[in-house]
Amino acid sequence: MLHRVKEQIGSFLPALRSKNYRLFFVGQGISLVGSWMQMIAEQWLVYPILTTNKSLLGLIGAVGMLPMLLFVLFAGVLVDRVNKRNVFLLFQYVYMAIALVLFFLIATHQIQLWHIFVAALVSGTILAFESPTRMTFVMDLVDKKDLPSALALNQAMFNSARAIGPALAGFTIAAIGIAPAYLANGLSFFAVIASIYMMRFPKMEKVIVQHQPIHTLHFLALSVF
């Protein structure tokens, strides 16, 4: 039994031999914790309105997921035509800007409901393209034989963030309010941005990969946070 457990644990580790993947794992993990903090803070932000409109939170979620349904089938094809590192980096900057703008609006008591809807729509649109970009970007960080390990570690990272982020959000909101949770998310993107800048890649020929829509959908189902 112990030997089997060691084998299962060991199957998670090969991807960590790649310095680039280690950087990604740490940076993305911190960023995901921040994202979950903001998701919980958003629910508290709109809670006073829920007393009069209980469907509002679901509507915000639907607005955020709509771009995924519209763009998911061809997002992967478009991703193959661009520099994945640069595009992934750009998406992180946009995510960070959204979080910091919302933090400013909340901290200065200027936040309005339409701000939240616009942020959800923009974030959802980015996510539709960022998810397949992240998938193919991870493939560039590890050897082919270590890809199952990388995907398993990614899933562990996402699940850990789902547990840690809401807990930190609860402590933050209770202690100092909703706005700092948005600030924490905005600042958390510095971790993944810094990790990308620290990566080093050998010069490689561009390889065009034909995406199967069902594979993209399966990955998004695993990685949506």
**Per-residue pLDDT tens for 125-182?**
999 899 888 888 888 899 889 988 999 999 999 999 999 999 999 999 999 999 999 9
Residue 109 has what pLDDT? 93
pLDDT digits (tens, 9 = 90+) for 67-97: 888 887 777 777 778 888 999 999 999 999 9
Count the domains in the chain. Answer: 1
Q: Report the predicted TM-score, pTM, of the whole model to 2 decimal places.
A: 0.81
188 occurs within a structural domain: yes
Categorize the per-residue pLDDT at 8 as very low, low, confident or very high, splitting at 50, 70 and 90: low
159 occurs within a structural domain: yes
120 occurs within a structural domain: yes
Instruction: Let me know: does 39 contact 99? Beta carbons within 8 Å.
Output: no
11 occurs within a structural domain: no
| Three-point CA angle 87, 198, 205, nearest 5° | 55
The CATH number that applies at residue 92 is: 1.20.1250.20
More confident position, 127 or 204: 127
Return all residues near 114 (Cβ < 8 A) that are at least 6 apart: none
The residue segments making up the domain with residue 123 are 19-199+207-223
pLDDT digits (tens, 9 = 90+) for 91-121: 999 999 999 999 999 999 999 989 999 999 9
Return all residues near 151 (Cβ < 8 A) that are at least 6 apart: 138
Categorize the per-residue pLDDT at 41 as very low, low, confident or very high, splitting at 50, 70 and 90: very high
Residue 186's alpha-carbon distances to 18, 42, 71, 81, 96, in angstroms, are: 27, 14, 25, 29, 5
Q: State the Cα–Cα distance between residues 116 and 61, nearest whole angstrom.
A: 10
CA end-to-end distance (rounded Å), the chain: 33
6 occurs within a structural domain: no
181 occurs within a structural domain: yes
How many residues are recorded in the chain? 225
